[in-house]
Chain A
Amino acid sequence: MTATAGPVAPSRPGGSGAPAAALGALVAKQFSFWYGEKQALYGIDLEMRSRSITALIGPSGCGKSTFLRSINRMHDLLPGTRHEGQILLDEADIYRSELDPTSLRRRVGMVFQRWNCFPKSIYDNVAYGPSINASLPRHEMDWIVESSLRRAALWDEVKDRLRQSALGLSGGQQQRLCIARTLANDPEVLLLDEPASALDPIATQKIEELLYELKRELTVVIVTHNLQQAARASDYTAFFYMGRLIEAGPTERMFTAPREERTNSYITGRFG
Protein backbone atom coordinates (compact mmCIF):
# COMPACT_ATOMS: atom_id res chain seq x y z
CA MET A 1 0.00 0.00 0.00
CA THR A 2 2.12 2.84 -1.21
CA ALA A 3 -0.26 4.13 -3.82
CA THR A 4 -2.21 6.30 -1.44
CA ALA A 5 -0.23 9.40 -2.23
CA GLY A 6 -1.75 10.19 -5.58
CA PRO A 7 -2.20 13.80 -6.46
CA VAL A 8 -4.08 15.19 -3.52
CA ALA A 9 -7.21 16.58 -4.98
CA PRO A 10 -7.37 20.33 -4.58
CA SER A 11 -10.67 21.69 -3.44
CA ARG A 12 -13.06 22.07 -6.31
CA PRO A 13 -13.86 25.46 -7.78
CA GLY A 14 -16.77 26.98 -5.94
CA GLY A 15 -15.32 26.63 -2.48
CA SER A 16 -13.32 29.77 -3.16
CA GLY A 17 -11.84 31.84 -0.44
CA ALA A 18 -11.79 28.97 2.04
CA PRO A 19 -10.55 30.30 5.35
CA ALA A 20 -7.41 28.96 6.88
CA ALA A 21 -9.46 27.38 9.63
CA ALA A 22 -10.39 23.86 8.67
CA LEU A 23 -13.96 23.28 7.59
CA GLY A 24 -16.21 20.56 8.79
CA ALA A 25 -16.03 20.98 12.54
CA LEU A 26 -19.00 19.32 14.20
CA VAL A 27 -20.46 20.13 17.58
CA ALA A 28 -23.48 18.44 19.12
CA LYS A 29 -25.25 20.48 21.79
CA GLN A 30 -27.75 18.80 24.08
CA PHE A 31 -28.85 16.62 21.19
CA SER A 32 -31.69 14.21 21.97
CA PHE A 33 -33.48 11.92 19.56
CA TRP A 34 -36.69 9.92 19.56
CA TYR A 35 -38.01 7.09 17.41
CA GLY A 36 -41.70 7.64 18.03
CA GLU A 37 -42.15 7.28 21.79
CA LYS A 38 -38.81 5.67 22.33
CA GLN A 39 -36.00 8.01 23.23
CA ALA A 40 -32.72 6.88 21.69
CA LEU A 41 -30.37 9.72 22.59
CA TYR A 42 -30.25 11.84 25.73
CA GLY A 43 -28.67 15.28 25.60
CA ILE A 44 -25.47 14.48 23.71
CA ASP A 45 -22.74 17.11 23.97
CA LEU A 46 -19.84 16.18 21.74
CA GLU A 47 -17.28 17.97 19.67
CA MET A 48 -15.90 16.25 16.58
CA ARG A 49 -12.88 18.13 15.37
CA SER A 50 -11.97 18.67 11.79
CA ARG A 51 -8.88 16.95 10.42
CA SER A 52 -9.13 14.18 12.93
CA ILE A 53 -10.85 10.86 13.41
CA THR A 54 -13.46 10.51 16.11
CA ALA A 55 -14.51 6.98 16.99
CA LEU A 56 -17.92 6.30 18.51
CA ILE A 57 -17.89 3.14 20.60
CA GLY A 58 -20.34 1.37 22.84
CA PRO A 59 -22.40 -1.81 23.07
CA SER A 60 -25.11 -2.61 20.53
CA GLY A 61 -28.16 -0.40 20.86
CA CYS A 62 -26.30 2.33 22.72
CA GLY A 63 -27.26 5.00 20.21
CA LYS A 64 -23.95 5.50 18.43
CA SER A 65 -25.34 4.65 14.99
CA THR A 66 -28.43 6.75 15.65
CA PHE A 67 -26.16 9.64 16.49
CA LEU A 68 -24.03 9.10 13.38
CA ARG A 69 -27.11 9.05 11.16
CA SER A 70 -28.39 12.22 12.80
CA ILE A 71 -25.32 14.06 11.55
CA ASN A 72 -26.45 13.84 7.94
CA ARG A 73 -30.17 13.62 8.70
CA MET A 74 -30.65 10.12 7.38
CA HIS A 75 -33.56 9.80 9.80
CA ASP A 76 -35.56 12.48 8.02
CA LEU A 77 -37.45 9.96 5.92
CA LEU A 78 -38.47 7.81 8.85
CA PRO A 79 -41.88 8.85 10.04
CA GLY A 80 -42.28 9.59 13.73
CA THR A 81 -38.73 10.62 14.52
CA ARG A 82 -37.93 13.90 16.25
CA HIS A 83 -35.03 15.59 17.95
CA GLU A 84 -34.15 18.34 20.36
CA GLY A 85 -30.95 20.30 20.70
CA GLN A 86 -28.54 21.08 17.93
CA ILE A 87 -25.79 19.66 15.79
CA LEU A 88 -23.61 22.44 14.45
CA LEU A 89 -21.60 22.08 11.28
CA ASP A 90 -19.21 25.00 11.00
CA GLU A 91 -21.28 26.72 13.65
CA ALA A 92 -24.60 26.46 11.81
CA ASP A 93 -27.33 24.07 12.94
CA ILE A 94 -27.80 21.28 10.41
CA TYR A 95 -31.48 21.05 11.38
CA ARG A 96 -32.21 24.69 10.58
CA SER A 97 -35.31 24.94 8.49
CA GLU A 98 -33.82 26.61 5.44
CA LEU A 99 -31.17 23.92 4.98
CA ASP A 100 -32.20 21.25 2.51
CA PRO A 101 -31.14 17.81 3.78
CA THR A 102 -29.97 16.80 0.31
CA SER A 103 -27.42 19.62 0.22
CA LEU A 104 -26.36 18.77 3.78
CA ARG A 105 -25.75 15.16 2.73
CA ARG A 106 -23.47 16.33 -0.05
CA ARG A 107 -21.32 18.07 2.55
CA VAL A 108 -21.58 15.22 5.03
CA GLY A 109 -20.94 11.93 3.25
CA MET A 110 -21.75 8.56 4.70
CA VAL A 111 -20.36 5.06 4.21
CA PHE A 112 -22.33 2.11 5.49
CA GLN A 113 -21.49 -1.16 7.19
CA ARG A 114 -22.46 -3.28 4.24
CA TRP A 115 -20.92 -1.93 1.04
CA ASN A 116 -23.70 -0.88 -1.25
CA CYS A 117 -22.30 -0.23 -4.70
CA PHE A 118 -24.90 0.38 -7.35
CA PRO A 119 -25.24 -2.34 -9.98
CA LYS A 120 -23.45 -0.08 -12.44
CA SER A 121 -19.92 0.27 -13.71
CA ILE A 122 -17.12 1.41 -11.42
CA TYR A 123 -16.97 4.74 -13.25
CA ASP A 124 -20.71 5.32 -12.99
CA ASN A 125 -20.69 4.53 -9.29
CA VAL A 126 -18.17 7.28 -8.61
CA ALA A 127 -19.81 9.68 -11.04
CA TYR A 128 -23.23 9.15 -9.51
CA GLY A 129 -22.99 11.87 -6.88
CA PRO A 130 -21.50 14.64 -9.06
CA SER A 131 -23.88 13.84 -11.91
CA ILE A 132 -26.78 15.14 -9.83
CA ASN A 133 -25.80 18.59 -11.11
CA ALA A 134 -27.13 18.25 -14.63
CA SER A 135 -24.21 17.62 -16.92
CA LEU A 136 -20.58 18.19 -16.16
CA PRO A 137 -18.21 18.29 -19.13
CA ARG A 138 -16.78 14.91 -19.87
CA HIS A 139 -13.19 15.75 -19.00
CA GLU A 140 -14.21 17.28 -15.70
CA MET A 141 -16.15 14.16 -14.75
CA ASP A 142 -13.16 12.02 -15.74
CA TRP A 143 -11.03 14.13 -13.47
CA ILE A 144 -13.43 13.85 -10.55
CA VAL A 145 -13.66 10.08 -10.95
CA GLU A 146 -9.91 9.62 -11.16
CA SER A 147 -9.08 11.89 -8.23
CA SER A 148 -11.81 10.35 -6.08
CA LEU A 149 -10.54 6.85 -6.80
CA ARG A 150 -7.00 7.99 -6.04
CA ARG A 151 -8.09 9.51 -2.76
CA ALA A 152 -9.76 6.21 -1.90
CA ALA A 153 -6.54 4.35 -2.78
CA LEU A 154 -8.37 2.33 -5.38
CA TRP A 155 -7.23 3.89 -8.65
CA ASP A 156 -4.32 1.56 -9.34
CA GLU A 157 -6.49 -1.48 -8.83
CA VAL A 158 -9.37 -0.44 -11.08
CA LYS A 159 -8.00 2.02 -13.64
CA ASP A 160 -8.06 -0.60 -16.39
CA ARG A 161 -11.58 -1.77 -15.67
CA LEU A 162 -13.55 1.39 -15.00
CA ARG A 163 -16.32 0.24 -17.35
CA GLN A 164 -16.81 -3.10 -15.66
CA SER A 165 -19.46 -3.80 -13.07
CA ALA A 166 -18.65 -2.65 -9.57
CA LEU A 167 -20.17 -5.84 -8.25
CA GLY A 168 -17.20 -7.80 -9.60
CA LEU A 169 -14.84 -6.21 -7.09
CA SER A 170 -13.87 -7.82 -3.80
CA GLY A 171 -15.60 -6.75 -0.60
CA GLY A 172 -12.77 -4.52 0.50
CA GLN A 173 -12.53 -2.94 -2.94
CA GLN A 174 -16.26 -2.35 -3.02
CA GLN A 175 -16.11 -0.66 0.35
CA ARG A 176 -13.30 1.61 -0.87
CA LEU A 177 -15.36 2.27 -3.99
CA CYS A 178 -18.18 3.39 -1.71
CA ILE A 179 -15.73 5.73 -0.01
CA ALA A 180 -14.57 7.04 -3.41
CA ARG A 181 -18.19 7.55 -4.41
CA THR A 182 -18.72 9.64 -1.29
CA LEU A 183 -15.50 11.60 -1.83
CA ALA A 184 -16.61 12.49 -5.36
CA ASN A 185 -19.09 14.88 -3.74
CA ASP A 186 -16.11 16.61 -2.10
CA PRO A 187 -17.62 16.48 1.39
CA GLU A 188 -16.25 18.15 4.48
CA VAL A 189 -17.29 15.36 6.79
CA LEU A 190 -17.05 11.61 6.28
CA LEU A 191 -19.26 9.41 8.44
CA LEU A 192 -18.58 5.68 8.53
CA ASP A 193 -20.89 3.15 10.14
CA GLU A 194 -18.77 0.11 11.01
CA PRO A 195 -17.10 0.23 7.60
CA ALA A 196 -14.79 -2.70 8.22
CA SER A 197 -16.87 -5.06 10.32
CA ALA A 198 -17.54 -7.39 7.38
CA LEU A 199 -14.00 -7.26 6.00
CA ASP A 200 -10.98 -9.44 6.56
CA PRO A 201 -7.99 -8.03 8.49
CA ILE A 202 -6.03 -7.02 5.39
CA ALA A 203 -8.93 -5.16 3.82
CA THR A 204 -9.61 -3.61 7.21
CA GLN A 205 -6.06 -2.40 7.41
CA LYS A 206 -6.37 -0.77 4.00
CA ILE A 207 -9.48 1.07 5.09
CA GLU A 208 -7.77 2.28 8.23
CA GLU A 209 -4.73 3.50 6.32
CA LEU A 210 -7.08 5.26 3.97
CA LEU A 211 -8.89 6.99 6.82
CA TYR A 212 -5.55 8.10 8.15
CA GLU A 213 -4.84 9.77 4.82
CA LEU A 214 -8.29 11.26 4.53
CA LYS A 215 -8.29 12.88 7.92
CA ARG A 216 -5.76 15.38 6.62
CA GLU A 217 -8.59 16.99 4.68
CA LEU A 218 -11.75 15.85 6.38
CA THR A 219 -13.61 15.43 9.61
CA VAL A 220 -13.93 11.68 10.00
CA VAL A 221 -16.45 10.11 12.38
CA ILE A 222 -16.48 6.34 12.61
CA VAL A 223 -18.75 3.98 14.48
CA THR A 224 -16.99 0.78 15.39
CA HIS A 225 -17.55 -2.32 17.45
CA ASN A 226 -13.90 -3.11 17.23
CA LEU A 227 -12.15 -1.57 20.18
CA GLN A 228 -8.69 -2.25 18.82
CA GLN A 229 -9.71 -0.41 15.70
CA ALA A 230 -10.90 2.56 17.71
CA ALA A 231 -7.69 2.51 19.73
CA ARG A 232 -5.31 2.36 16.80
CA ALA A 233 -7.16 4.38 14.15
CA SER A 234 -8.81 7.28 15.95
CA ASP A 235 -7.66 10.51 17.54
CA TYR A 236 -10.69 10.96 19.76
CA THR A 237 -13.04 8.41 21.21
CA ALA A 238 -16.57 8.84 22.50
CA PHE A 239 -18.19 6.13 24.58
CA PHE A 240 -21.96 5.79 24.33
CA TYR A 241 -24.09 3.73 26.67
CA MET A 242 -27.88 3.47 26.80
CA GLY A 243 -28.35 6.55 24.65
CA ARG A 244 -26.04 8.70 26.72
CA LEU A 245 -22.56 9.94 26.06
CA ILE A 246 -20.63 8.60 29.02
CA GLU A 247 -17.22 9.94 28.25
CA ALA A 248 -15.24 11.44 25.40
CA GLY A 249 -11.65 12.47 24.99
CA PRO A 250 -8.37 11.81 23.23
CA THR A 251 -8.20 8.15 22.33
CA GLU A 252 -4.98 7.49 24.16
CA ARG A 253 -6.33 8.85 27.40
CA MET A 254 -9.66 7.07 26.96
CA PHE A 255 -7.94 3.73 26.62
CA THR A 256 -5.29 4.20 29.26
CA ALA A 257 -6.95 6.33 31.90
CA PRO A 258 -10.72 6.40 31.49
CA ARG A 259 -12.39 8.61 34.03
CA GLU A 260 -15.67 6.74 34.18
CA GLU A 261 -16.03 3.30 35.66
CA ARG A 262 -18.43 2.21 32.86
CA THR A 263 -15.92 3.23 30.21
CA ASN A 264 -13.28 1.23 31.96
CA SER A 265 -15.55 -1.82 32.20
CA TYR A 266 -16.40 -1.63 28.51
CA ILE A 267 -12.91 -1.18 27.13
CA THR A 268 -11.57 -3.91 29.33
CA GLY A 269 -14.27 -6.23 28.05
CA ARG A 270 -16.26 -6.69 31.22
CA PHE A 271 -19.55 -6.01 29.40
CA GLY A 272 -20.85 -5.17 25.96
Chain B
Amino acid sequence: MTAPSPAASPAPPARWSGVYPAAARAGKLRRRHAVNAVMAGLVGVAAILATLPLVIVLFYLLKQGVASLQWHFFTNMPKPVGESGGGMANAIVGTLMLIGTASVIGLPVGIGAGLYLAEHRGSRLANTTRFLADVLNGLPSIVMGIFAWQILVRPVGHFSAWAGGVALAAMMIPQVARTTEEIVRTVPVSLREAALALGYAHWRTSLTVVLRTATAGVVTGALVAIARIAGETAPLLFTAFGNQFWSTSLNQPVAALPLQIYTYALSPYDDWHSQAWAGALVLIALILIISLIARVATRGRFATASD
Protein backbone atom coordinates (compact mmCIF):
# COMPACT_ATOMS: atom_id res chain seq x y z
CA MET B 1 0.00 0.00 0.00
CA THR B 2 1.60 3.20 -1.11
CA ALA B 3 -0.14 6.41 -0.37
CA PRO B 4 -1.25 8.19 -3.56
CA SER B 5 0.78 11.24 -4.20
CA PRO B 6 -1.14 14.50 -3.92
CA ALA B 7 -0.60 15.27 -7.55
CA ALA B 8 -2.27 12.03 -8.69
CA SER B 9 -5.42 12.46 -6.57
CA PRO B 10 -8.56 13.23 -8.58
CA ALA B 11 -10.13 16.64 -8.52
CA PRO B 12 -12.55 17.11 -5.61
CA PRO B 13 -16.16 16.37 -6.58
CA ALA B 14 -18.44 19.23 -7.40
CA ARG B 15 -20.38 20.38 -4.38
CA TRP B 16 -24.03 19.46 -4.20
CA SER B 17 -24.96 23.08 -4.11
CA GLY B 18 -23.70 23.27 -7.63
CA VAL B 19 -25.92 20.39 -8.77
CA TYR B 20 -29.19 21.35 -7.12
CA PRO B 21 -30.33 24.92 -6.82
CA ALA B 22 -31.07 25.98 -3.25
CA ALA B 23 -34.82 26.13 -3.85
CA ALA B 24 -34.94 22.54 -5.14
CA ARG B 25 -32.91 21.35 -2.16
CA ALA B 26 -35.29 23.01 0.26
CA GLY B 27 -38.19 21.30 -1.52
CA LYS B 28 -36.59 17.86 -1.21
CA LEU B 29 -35.84 18.44 2.42
CA ARG B 30 -39.43 19.43 3.08
CA ARG B 31 -40.62 16.29 1.30
CA ARG B 32 -38.31 14.11 3.38
CA HIS B 33 -39.60 15.68 6.55
CA ALA B 34 -43.16 15.09 5.44
CA VAL B 35 -42.52 11.41 4.62
CA ASN B 36 -40.81 11.00 7.95
CA ALA B 37 -43.75 12.49 9.80
CA VAL B 38 -46.26 10.30 7.95
CA MET B 39 -44.29 7.09 8.62
CA ALA B 40 -43.80 7.92 12.27
CA GLY B 41 -47.50 8.64 12.52
CA LEU B 42 -48.44 5.31 10.90
CA VAL B 43 -46.23 3.33 13.25
CA GLY B 44 -47.67 5.21 16.19
CA VAL B 45 -51.20 4.41 15.06
CA ALA B 46 -50.23 0.74 14.76
CA ALA B 47 -48.91 0.79 18.31
CA ILE B 48 -52.16 2.28 19.56
CA LEU B 49 -54.21 -0.24 17.55
CA ALA B 50 -52.20 -3.06 19.11
CA THR B 51 -53.13 -2.03 22.63
CA LEU B 52 -56.67 -1.03 21.74
CA PRO B 53 -58.25 -4.50 22.09
CA LEU B 54 -56.78 -4.89 25.55
CA VAL B 55 -58.02 -1.49 26.64
CA ILE B 56 -61.50 -2.14 25.27
CA VAL B 57 -61.67 -5.59 26.86
CA LEU B 58 -60.60 -4.25 30.22
CA PHE B 59 -63.02 -1.36 29.97
CA TYR B 60 -65.92 -3.65 29.11
CA LEU B 61 -65.05 -6.17 31.78
CA LEU B 62 -64.90 -3.47 34.41
CA LYS B 63 -68.13 -1.86 33.21
CA GLN B 64 -70.11 -5.08 33.04
CA GLY B 65 -68.49 -7.13 35.75
CA VAL B 66 -67.85 -4.79 38.60
CA ALA B 67 -71.54 -4.59 39.54
CA SER B 68 -71.70 -8.34 40.21
CA LEU B 69 -68.34 -8.43 41.88
CA GLN B 70 -69.39 -8.47 45.49
CA TRP B 71 -67.93 -10.37 48.34
CA HIS B 72 -70.35 -13.24 48.02
CA PHE B 73 -69.13 -13.80 44.48
CA PHE B 74 -65.93 -15.19 45.93
CA THR B 75 -67.45 -17.10 48.82
CA ASN B 76 -70.77 -18.44 47.56
CA MET B 77 -71.63 -21.34 45.34
CA PRO B 78 -73.61 -20.89 42.13
CA LYS B 79 -77.33 -20.47 42.81
CA PRO B 80 -80.29 -21.38 40.63
CA VAL B 81 -81.63 -18.77 38.25
CA GLY B 82 -83.61 -16.10 40.01
CA GLU B 83 -81.93 -16.51 43.38
CA SER B 84 -79.58 -13.67 44.13
CA GLY B 85 -76.28 -13.93 45.95
CA GLY B 86 -74.77 -16.66 43.78
CA GLY B 87 -71.00 -16.84 43.37
CA MET B 88 -68.22 -18.77 41.74
CA ALA B 89 -66.25 -19.97 44.77
CA ASN B 90 -66.04 -23.49 43.39
CA ALA B 91 -64.91 -22.31 39.96
CA ILE B 92 -62.20 -20.06 41.43
CA VAL B 93 -60.85 -22.90 43.55
CA GLY B 94 -61.21 -25.31 40.64
CA THR B 95 -59.22 -23.06 38.33
CA LEU B 96 -56.47 -22.73 40.94
CA MET B 97 -56.40 -26.53 41.29
CA LEU B 98 -56.17 -26.99 37.54
CA ILE B 99 -53.41 -24.40 37.21
CA GLY B 100 -51.56 -26.02 40.11
CA THR B 101 -51.82 -29.54 38.70
CA ALA B 102 -50.79 -28.40 35.24
CA SER B 103 -47.83 -26.44 36.64
CA VAL B 104 -46.60 -29.28 38.85
CA ILE B 105 -46.55 -31.59 35.85
CA GLY B 106 -45.79 -29.18 33.06
CA LEU B 107 -43.14 -26.83 34.45
CA PRO B 108 -40.47 -29.37 35.50
CA VAL B 109 -40.87 -31.32 32.28
CA GLY B 110 -40.97 -28.20 30.14
CA ILE B 111 -38.01 -26.51 31.81
CA GLY B 112 -36.00 -29.73 31.83
CA ALA B 113 -36.70 -30.30 28.17
CA GLY B 114 -35.78 -26.71 27.36
CA LEU B 115 -32.50 -27.09 29.23
CA TYR B 116 -31.76 -30.24 27.26
CA LEU B 117 -32.58 -28.53 23.98
CA ALA B 118 -30.24 -25.67 24.78
CA GLU B 119 -27.36 -27.73 26.18
CA HIS B 120 -27.39 -30.49 23.56
CA ARG B 121 -28.58 -28.39 20.67
CA GLY B 122 -26.98 -30.44 17.92
CA SER B 123 -28.03 -33.92 19.01
CA ARG B 124 -30.61 -35.87 17.07
CA LEU B 125 -32.88 -36.21 20.10
CA ALA B 126 -32.79 -32.43 20.59
CA ASN B 127 -33.61 -31.72 16.96
CA THR B 128 -36.49 -34.19 16.98
CA THR B 129 -37.81 -32.84 20.28
CA ARG B 130 -37.60 -29.27 19.07
CA PHE B 131 -39.51 -30.09 15.91
CA LEU B 132 -42.21 -31.96 17.82
CA ALA B 133 -42.47 -29.15 20.36
CA ASP B 134 -43.09 -26.68 17.57
CA VAL B 135 -45.78 -28.93 16.13
CA LEU B 136 -47.36 -29.36 19.56
CA ASN B 137 -47.31 -25.61 20.09
CA GLY B 138 -49.52 -25.20 17.09
CA LEU B 139 -51.89 -27.99 18.05
CA PRO B 140 -55.48 -26.80 18.56
CA SER B 141 -56.35 -26.96 22.23
CA ILE B 142 -59.49 -28.98 21.61
CA VAL B 143 -57.27 -31.76 20.26
CA MET B 144 -55.38 -31.74 23.57
CA GLY B 145 -58.71 -32.16 25.30
CA ILE B 146 -59.66 -35.15 23.17
CA PHE B 147 -56.26 -36.68 23.79
CA ALA B 148 -56.58 -36.29 27.55
CA TRP B 149 -60.11 -37.65 27.43
CA GLN B 150 -58.91 -40.70 25.51
CA ILE B 151 -56.10 -41.61 27.88
CA LEU B 152 -57.35 -40.35 31.24
CA VAL B 153 -61.14 -40.10 31.19
CA ARG B 154 -62.29 -43.04 29.12
CA PRO B 155 -60.25 -45.76 30.88
CA VAL B 156 -61.30 -44.46 34.30
CA GLY B 157 -64.89 -43.94 33.33
CA HIS B 158 -65.46 -40.45 34.69
CA PHE B 159 -64.27 -36.88 34.28
CA SER B 160 -61.65 -35.63 36.69
CA ALA B 161 -59.56 -32.60 37.62
CA TRP B 162 -56.53 -34.79 36.92
CA ALA B 163 -57.45 -35.16 33.30
CA GLY B 164 -57.96 -31.41 32.98
CA GLY B 165 -54.61 -30.70 34.61
CA VAL B 166 -52.83 -33.12 32.32
CA ALA B 167 -54.47 -31.63 29.24
CA LEU B 168 -53.34 -28.16 30.32
CA ALA B 169 -49.85 -29.45 31.19
CA ALA B 170 -49.56 -30.97 27.73
CA MET B 171 -50.23 -27.50 26.35
CA MET B 172 -47.68 -25.88 28.63
CA ILE B 173 -44.78 -28.25 28.04
CA PRO B 174 -43.85 -27.35 24.46
CA GLN B 175 -44.24 -23.65 25.10
CA VAL B 176 -42.19 -23.69 28.31
CA ALA B 177 -39.56 -25.88 26.66
CA ARG B 178 -39.08 -23.51 23.76
CA THR B 179 -38.97 -20.32 25.82
CA THR B 180 -36.58 -21.94 28.32
CA GLU B 181 -34.35 -23.00 25.46
CA GLU B 182 -34.25 -19.49 24.03
CA ILE B 183 -33.45 -17.92 27.39
CA VAL B 184 -30.83 -20.49 28.38
CA ARG B 185 -29.07 -19.94 25.08
CA THR B 186 -28.47 -16.32 26.02
CA VAL B 187 -26.40 -17.31 29.07
CA PRO B 188 -22.82 -16.44 28.11
CA VAL B 189 -20.57 -19.40 27.33
CA SER B 190 -17.97 -17.82 29.60
CA LEU B 191 -20.13 -18.50 32.67
CA ARG B 192 -20.42 -22.17 31.76
CA GLU B 193 -16.68 -22.35 31.25
CA ALA B 194 -16.07 -20.74 34.63
CA ALA B 195 -18.14 -23.37 36.41
CA LEU B 196 -16.62 -26.23 34.43
CA ALA B 197 -13.13 -24.94 35.15
CA LEU B 198 -13.95 -24.97 38.86
CA GLY B 199 -14.57 -28.68 38.66
CA TYR B 200 -18.32 -28.73 38.27
CA ALA B 201 -19.82 -31.53 36.24
CA HIS B 202 -21.74 -30.63 33.12
CA TRP B 203 -25.21 -31.32 34.54
CA ARG B 204 -24.46 -29.39 37.71
CA THR B 205 -23.16 -26.46 35.72
CA SER B 206 -26.41 -26.48 33.81
CA LEU B 207 -28.52 -26.51 36.93
CA THR B 208 -26.59 -24.15 39.19
CA VAL B 209 -25.08 -21.60 36.85
CA VAL B 210 -26.92 -21.70 33.57
CA LEU B 211 -30.43 -22.13 34.88
CA ARG B 212 -29.83 -19.82 37.80
CA THR B 213 -28.55 -17.06 35.59
CA ALA B 214 -31.53 -17.52 33.33
CA THR B 215 -34.04 -17.70 36.20
CA ALA B 216 -35.79 -14.43 35.52
CA GLY B 217 -36.36 -15.28 31.88
CA VAL B 218 -37.41 -18.84 32.58
CA VAL B 219 -39.92 -17.68 35.20
CA THR B 220 -41.32 -15.14 32.79
CA GLY B 221 -41.71 -17.84 30.17
CA ALA B 222 -43.43 -20.10 32.69
CA LEU B 223 -45.81 -17.31 33.63
CA VAL B 224 -46.77 -16.60 30.07
CA ALA B 225 -47.55 -20.30 29.72
CA ILE B 226 -49.60 -20.32 32.94
CA ALA B 227 -51.47 -17.23 31.89
CA ARG B 228 -52.26 -18.87 28.60
CA ILE B 229 -53.61 -22.11 30.04
CA ALA B 230 -55.50 -20.37 32.83
CA GLY B 231 -58.04 -19.16 30.31
CA GLU B 232 -58.23 -22.32 28.21
CA THR B 233 -61.75 -23.71 27.87
CA ALA B 234 -61.63 -26.27 25.09
CA PRO B 235 -59.27 -28.79 26.77
CA LEU B 236 -61.46 -28.77 29.87
CA LEU B 237 -64.78 -29.41 28.16
CA PHE B 238 -64.45 -33.17 28.34
CA THR B 239 -61.77 -33.57 31.02
CA ALA B 240 -62.43 -31.41 34.07
CA PHE B 241 -65.95 -31.05 32.67
CA GLY B 242 -67.23 -28.51 35.20
CA ASN B 243 -69.13 -29.01 38.42
CA GLN B 244 -72.01 -27.12 39.99
CA PHE B 245 -70.98 -28.30 43.43
CA TRP B 246 -68.06 -27.82 45.74
CA SER B 247 -65.27 -30.27 45.02
CA THR B 248 -61.60 -30.22 45.81
CA SER B 249 -60.90 -33.79 44.82
CA LEU B 250 -58.51 -34.27 41.94
CA ASN B 251 -60.36 -37.42 41.12
CA GLN B 252 -63.73 -35.72 40.57
CA PRO B 253 -64.97 -33.34 37.91
CA VAL B 254 -64.18 -29.82 38.97
CA ALA B 255 -65.50 -26.40 38.10
CA ALA B 256 -63.32 -23.89 36.33
CA LEU B 257 -63.76 -20.20 35.61
CA PRO B 258 -63.53 -20.47 31.83
CA LEU B 259 -66.10 -23.29 31.81
CA GLN B 260 -68.39 -21.39 34.12
CA ILE B 261 -68.09 -18.27 32.01
CA TYR B 262 -68.84 -20.32 28.92
CA THR B 263 -71.93 -21.90 30.47
CA TYR B 264 -73.26 -18.66 31.92
CA ALA B 265 -72.60 -16.61 28.83
CA LEU B 266 -74.57 -19.08 26.69
CA SER B 267 -77.52 -19.04 29.08
CA PRO B 268 -80.56 -16.84 28.38
CA TYR B 269 -80.54 -15.20 31.84
CA ASP B 270 -79.37 -11.64 32.45
CA ASP B 271 -78.37 -12.55 35.97
CA TRP B 272 -75.98 -15.22 34.71
CA HIS B 273 -74.66 -12.92 32.03
CA SER B 274 -73.48 -10.42 34.57
CA GLN B 275 -72.01 -13.26 36.62
CA ALA B 276 -70.08 -14.35 33.53
CA TRP B 277 -68.68 -10.82 33.18
CA ALA B 278 -67.61 -10.87 36.79
CA GLY B 279 -66.03 -14.28 36.30
CA ALA B 280 -64.04 -12.98 33.35
CA LEU B 281 -62.86 -10.05 35.42
CA VAL B 282 -61.74 -12.39 38.20
CA LEU B 283 -59.92 -14.60 35.70
CA ILE B 284 -57.98 -11.63 34.33
CA ALA B 285 -57.21 -10.40 37.82
CA LEU B 286 -55.98 -13.86 38.77
CA ILE B 287 -53.54 -13.94 35.88
CA LEU B 288 -52.39 -10.44 36.70
CA ILE B 289 -51.75 -11.34 40.34
CA ILE B 290 -49.79 -14.49 39.44
CA SER B 291 -47.62 -12.41 37.12
CA LEU B 292 -47.02 -9.72 39.69
CA ILE B 293 -46.11 -12.14 42.47
CA ALA B 294 -43.59 -13.95 40.33
CA ARG B 295 -42.16 -10.69 39.01
CA VAL B 296 -41.50 -9.48 42.52
CA ALA B 297 -40.19 -12.85 43.64
CA THR B 298 -37.62 -13.09 40.85
CA ARG B 299 -36.52 -9.49 40.84
CA GLY B 300 -33.58 -10.61 43.01
CA ARG B 301 -30.46 -8.63 43.58
CA PHE B 302 -28.34 -10.27 40.90
CA ALA B 303 -31.03 -11.18 38.44
CA THR B 304 -29.60 -9.28 35.51
CA ALA B 305 -27.12 -11.37 33.64
CA SER B 306 -25.02 -8.88 31.82
CA ASP B 307 -21.92 -10.83 31.00
Contact = CB atoms under 8 A, between A and B. Distances in A.
Contacts of B213: 118-119
Interface residues of A, number: 27
Interface stretch (B188-196, B241-249, B266-274, B291-299): B188-196
Nearest to A109: B197
A204 interface: no
Interface string A46-86: 00000000000000000000000000101001010000000
B194 A116 contact: yes
A178 B194 contact: yes
A219 interface: no
A8 B257 CA distance: 66
A187 to B, nearest CB: 9
A110 interface: yes
Q: Which of B188, B302, B304 counts the most chain A CB atoms within 10 A?
A: B302
Contacts, number: 67
Contacts of B285: none
Contact of A129 (B188, B198, B302, B307): B198
Nearest to B306: A167
A109 B193 CA distance: 11
A105 interface: yes
A119 B305 contact: yes
A260 to B, nearest CB: 30
Contact of B197 (A110, A114, A118, A132): A110
A105 B196 contact: yes
A253 interface: no
B22 to A, nearest CB: 50
A72 B197 contact: yes
A105 B191 contact: no
A185 interface: yes
B209 A118 contact: yes
Given A118-B213, A165-B302, A132 B202 contact: no
A181 to B, nearest CB: 7
B301 interface: yes
A167 B303 CA distance: 11
Contact of A112 (B194, B200, B301): B194
Interface in B194-235: 194-202, 204, 209, 213
A128 B190 CA distance: 15
A2 interface: no
B119 to A, nearest CB: 10
Given A74-B197, A110-B197, 11 more contacts: A106-B199, A112-B194, A119-B213, A119-B303, A128-B198, A129-B198, A165-B301, A167-B304, A181-B194, A182-B198, A185-B198
Considering the complex of A and B, which 7 residue pairs feature the smallest CB-CB distances, nearest first? A106-B199, A116-B190, A110-B197, A129-B198, A119-B302, A116-B194, A105-B199
Interface of A: 72, 74, 77, 79, 102-103, 105-106, 109-110, 112, 114, 116-121, 128-129, 132, 165, 167, 178, 181-182, 185
23 contacts: A74-B196, A74-B197, A105-B198, A105-B199, A106-B199, A110-B193, A110-B197, A112-B190, A112-B193, A112-B197, A114-B307, A118-B194, A119-B304, A128-B198, A129-B199, A132-B198, A132-B199, A132-B200, A165-B302, A167-B302, A167-B306, A178-B194, A185-B198
